[in-house]
Protein backbone atom coordinates (compact mmCIF):
# COMPACT_ATOMS: atom_id res chain seq x y z
CA UNK A 1 0.00 0.00 0.00
CA UNK A 2 2.80 2.46 0.87
CA UNK A 3 4.59 1.51 -2.33
CA UNK A 4 1.44 2.31 -4.35
CA UNK A 5 1.03 5.64 -2.55
CA UNK A 6 4.65 6.49 -3.29
CA UNK A 7 4.22 5.61 -6.95
CA UNK A 8 1.04 7.66 -7.13
CA UNK A 9 2.82 10.59 -5.49
CA UNK A 10 5.66 10.33 -8.04
CA UNK A 11 3.13 10.26 -10.91
CA UNK A 12 1.34 13.26 -9.44
CA UNK A 13 4.63 15.18 -9.19
CA UNK A 14 5.46 14.28 -12.79
CA UNK A 15 2.01 15.35 -13.95
CA UNK A 16 2.33 18.65 -12.06
CA UNK A 17 5.70 19.31 -13.71
CA UNK A 18 4.27 18.51 -17.14
CA UNK A 19 1.33 20.82 -16.48
CA UNK A 20 3.65 23.63 -15.37
CA UNK A 21 5.75 23.24 -18.52
CA UNK A 22 2.66 23.28 -20.74
CA UNK A 23 1.28 26.34 -18.97
CA UNK A 24 4.61 28.12 -19.47
CA UNK A 25 4.59 27.24 -23.18
CA UNK A 26 1.00 28.44 -23.46
CA UNK A 27 1.97 31.72 -21.78
CA UNK A 28 4.90 32.20 -24.17
CA UNK A 29 2.72 31.42 -27.20
CA UNK A 30 -0.01 33.73 -25.93
CA UNK A 31 2.53 36.55 -25.58
CA UNK A 32 3.86 35.88 -29.09
CA UNK A 33 0.30 35.97 -30.46
CA UNK A 34 -0.41 39.25 -28.66
CA UNK A 35 2.76 40.78 -30.10
CA UNK A 36 1.93 39.53 -33.59
CA UNK A 37 -1.53 41.08 -33.37
CA UNK A 38 0.02 44.32 -32.16
CA UNK A 39 2.46 44.28 -35.09
CA UNK A 40 -0.39 43.63 -37.55
CA UNK A 41 -2.36 46.55 -36.12
CA UNK A 42 0.69 48.83 -36.38
CA UNK A 43 1.38 47.78 -39.98
CA UNK A 44 -2.28 48.29 -40.96
CA UNK A 45 -2.11 51.83 -39.58
CA UNK A 46 1.06 52.47 -41.60
CA UNK A 47 -0.61 51.14 -44.77
CA UNK A 48 -3.62 53.39 -44.16
CA UNK A 49 -1.37 56.40 -43.58
CA UNK A 50 0.55 55.63 -46.75
CA UNK A 51 -2.68 55.35 -48.76
CA UNK A 52 -3.82 58.72 -47.37
CA UNK A 53 -0.48 60.28 -48.25
CA UNK A 54 -0.63 58.92 -51.82
CA UNK A 55 -4.19 60.22 -52.22
CA UNK A 56 -3.09 63.66 -51.03
CA UNK A 57 -0.10 63.64 -53.41
CA UNK A 58 -2.38 62.65 -56.26
CA UNK A 59 -4.76 65.53 -55.45
CA UNK A 60 -1.82 67.94 -55.29
CA UNK A 61 -0.53 66.71 -58.64
CA UNK A 62 -3.99 67.12 -60.22
CA UNK A 63 -4.15 70.70 -58.96
CA UNK A 64 -0.62 71.61 -60.02
CA UNK A 65 -0.53 69.87 -63.40
CA UNK A 66 -2.79 72.37 -65.24
CA UNK A 67 -0.80 75.25 -63.74
CA UNK A 68 2.47 73.63 -64.83
CA UNK A 69 1.10 73.12 -68.35
CA UNK A 70 0.08 76.78 -68.56
CA UNK A 71 3.41 78.08 -67.30
CA UNK A 72 5.62 75.65 -69.24
CA UNK A 73 3.67 74.56 -72.34
CA UNK A 74 6.78 73.38 -74.20
CA UNK A 75 7.86 71.17 -71.29
CA UNK A 76 4.32 69.84 -70.92
CA UNK A 77 4.22 68.92 -74.65
CA UNK A 78 7.64 67.28 -74.41
CA UNK A 79 6.46 65.25 -71.43
CA UNK A 80 3.28 64.27 -73.25
CA UNK A 81 1.05 66.06 -70.74
CA UNK A 82 -0.96 68.01 -73.31
Q: Which letter does DSSP use for residue 72 in this model?
A: -
User: Is pLDDT at 31 greater than 70 in this prediction?
Assistant: yes
The pLDDT tens digits for 50-82 are 999 999 999 999 999 888 888 888 887 888 877
Whole-number Å distance between alpha carbons of 46 and 54: 12
- The total number of structural domains that make up the chain: 1
The pLDDT tens digits for 8-25 are 999 999 999 999 999 999
Whole-number Å distance between alpha carbons of 20 and 61: 61
The model's pTM is: 0.63
pLDDT tier at 1 (50, 70, 90 boundaries)?
low
Residue-level pLDDT at 33: 98
Give residue 44's domain range.
2-78
CB neighbour burial string for 55-70, b if at least 16 within 10 angstroms, e if fewer: eeeeeeeeeeeeeeee
Amino acid sequence: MYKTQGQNAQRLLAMNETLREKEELARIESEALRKAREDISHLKRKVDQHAELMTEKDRTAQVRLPIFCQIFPSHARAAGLT
